[in-house]
Amino acid sequence: MKIKPLGDRVVIKQLEAEEKTKSGIVLPGNAKEKPQEAEVVAVGPGGIVDGKEVQMQVQVGQRVIYSKYAGTEVKLDKEEYIIVKQNDILAVIE
């Protein structure tokens, strides 16, 4: 099954949280903070959204940083994805 976002929506897959701190301390599962870093899996077509022309600025495969409480979490084929609006993406990691 495939997810195809509509309008200015982007499907992202959250990257895994670090297992260890930089000093080597192993973190238990509940102490790990979810990273705001993700990989773009699918991008909507853009177009006219809420009466404004929207051009998509992200592409599939890019790593991005997104707003902490943004989006809708979706589980599909045992994979977890987050669907966010393009405005919720704060930066592209190069």
Average predicted confidence (pLDDT) for the chain: 86
Residues 91 and 61: their CA atoms lie apart, in Å, by: 14
Domain assignment present for residue 2? The answer is no
Number of compact structural domains in the chain: 1
Say if residues 63 and 15 touch (Cβ distance below 8 Å): yes
> Whose CA is closest to 40, among 67, 70, 11, 7?
11
pLDDT, tens digit, 9 for 90 and up, residues 36-81:
899 999 999 998 878 889 899 999 999 999 998 899 999 998 999 9
Domain that holds residue 55: 9-17+26-93
pLDDT at 31 over 80: no
Domain assignment present for residue 71? The answer is yes
Using DSSP's 3-state secondary structure scheme, residue 73 falls into strand
Residues 36 and 15: their CA atoms lie apart, in Å, by: 8
**What is residue 49's predicted lDDT score, i.e. its pLDDT?**
79
Query: Per-residue confidence at 19, pLDDT binned at 50, 70, 90?
Result: low
Cα dihedral across residues 61, 64, 68, 71: positive or negative? negative
Domain assignment present for residue 77? The answer is yes
Domain CATH code at residue 31:
2.30.33.40
